[in-house]
Amino acid sequence: MSAPTTLIARDFTEFRAAVSQSFVPLDVSAGGDGFRGRIRSSAADEVQVSEVTASPHVVERTPALIARGERRYYKLSLVLAGTSLLVQDDREAILRPGDVALYDTHRPYSLVFEEDFRTLVVMFPQRLIDLPAELVGRLTAVRMSGKEGVGNVVVPFLAQLGGNLDQLAGPAGARLAHSAIDLLATLVATELDLAHTDPHHELMRRIRAHIDANLPSADLSPARIAAEHFISTRHLHGLFQEQGTTVAGWIRTRRLEHCRRDLLDPVHAGRPVAAIASRWGFVDAAHFSRVFKSAFGRSPSDLRRELTVSVR
């Protein structure tokens, strides 16, 4: 958790530096004098929420910048005032107030603002969203309305979060961040359900839901999952391979993510690490510690110590 920061740019040079400092390295160009910009940001558990207010400009994420090897993030823009054009993966989305769109920092994109604007940007590691990257990639640079359906629930929450960035720095920060990501995942999943009638898509949706509901079970296995859905184990492995992952890898990733969330949650501060691991299906504490450190770059105990320091 980090306290909110505000970067006020008095000219374009300052704003260009502030953009790359606040997000990922970007090429920023603008025309005209009198440029003004402001970026207010706060973050919790690797989820950064920023409100950007600025004069017209263009932002580009180029292959050369991507090659520097930064971690993979998704960014979601919610337009609050003005309009913008998002281009990625040969798709274009014109966004107006109340619209949202997702984009991937690991692939080239551009954002064009032709008038003064205000937008909310949520940036988070791709692993936080509980959908395969191959599926999420179908929705980059696709306009999603915040005025109807699930969007009418998600957008007001995000707008309120953007107006109360100090809350991300408080004890409830991690829970608010997780709620935001869960809502975004629900919005994306809903849009995918509306756009695809492929029977495989529906089957995979049910399989992923089944896995999440049974993560605490130590005997959750491909054979059991396949039997529950009346398909062969080979067919199950093929479905996951189509989406760039494996059954075992997906189960492990989901379990680790739930463990990480619990370790960062003050509600579970008094619960032993081994108990949290066991809660999500890791029966061997030493094995859990190894795979956790491999996935997140630090041990479960180190992550918990960071939580203890942050809430003092």
Residues 6+ apart with CB under 8 A from 130: 185, 208, 212, 254, 257
Residue 87 pLDDT class (50, 70, 90 cuts): very high
DSSP assignment, residue 71? P
User: Would you say residue 50 has pLDDT above 90?
Assistant: yes
Could you give the C-alpha distances from 24 to 16, 79, 101, in angstroms and in order?
Answer: 12, 20, 18
Give me the long-range contacts of 178-186 (CB less than 8 A, separation at least 24): 178/45, 178/47, 178/261, 180/47, 180/49, 180/122, 181/47, 181/124, 181/128, 181/129, 183/153, 183/154, 183/157, 183/158, 184/76, 184/102, 184/122, 184/129, 184/154, 185/129, 185/130, 185/131, 186/150, 186/154
The pLDDT mean for the chain works out to 90
CA distances from 282 to 57, 273, 277, 278 (A): 49, 11, 5, 5
Place of tokens 């263009």: 58
**How confident is the model at residue 31, as a pLDDT?**
62
- Quote the CA–CA distance of 179 and 96 in Å, as a whole number: 24
Percentage of the chain modeled with pLDDT above 70: 95
Is the pLDDT at 307 greater than 80? The verdict is no
Contact criterion met (CB below 8 Å) for 19 and 181 = no
**CA–CA separation, 112 and 93 (whole Å):** 10
Helix, strand or coil, per DSSP, at residue 238: helix
| Contact present, 81 and 97 (Cβ < 8 Å) | yes
Closest by alpha carbon to 195, among 243, 235, 136, 132?
136
Percent pLDDT > 90 in the chain is 66
Confidence band (pLDDT; 50, 70, 90) for 294? very high
pLDDT given at position 310: 52
Calculate mean pLDDT across residues 153-177.
Answer: 91
What confidence tier does 2 reach under pLDDT thresholds 50, 70, 90? low
Q: What is the mean pLDDT of residues 183-210?
A: 83
Where does the pLDDT of residue 312 fall: very low under 50, low under 70, confident under 90, or very high at 90 and above? very low
* pTM exceeds 0.85, yes or no: no
Cβ atoms 53, 15 nearer than 8 A: no
Own/partner pairs, 61-66, CB within 8 angstroms, 24+ separation = 61/24, 61/26, 61/27, 61/105, 61/107, 61/108, 61/109, 61/110, 62/27, 62/108, 63/108, 65/24, 65/25, 65/26, 65/27, 66/105, 66/106, 66/107, 66/108
Mean pLDDT throughout 196-202? Answer: 69
Mind listing the pLDDT tens digit for each residue in 30-44?
A: 866 788 999 999 999
Which pLDDT score is estimated for 282? 93
Residue 267 burial by Cβ neighbours in a 10 Å radius (0-12, 13-18, 19+): exposed
In the prediction, which pLDDT does 32 show? Answer: 64
How much is the pLDDT for 309?
52
Token pair in block for residue 242: 């189509």
The predicted pLDDT at position 135 comes to 85
**95-127 pLDDT, tens per residue?**
999 999 999 999 999 999 999 999 999 999 998
pLDDT at 185: 92
Q: Is residue 244 very low, low, confident or very high in pLDDT (cuts 50, 70, 90)? A: confident
Q: Which amino acid appears at position 268 of this protein?
A: H
Lowest-pLDDT choice from 244-258, 280-294, 296-310: 296-310
Mean pLDDT for 180-189 is 93
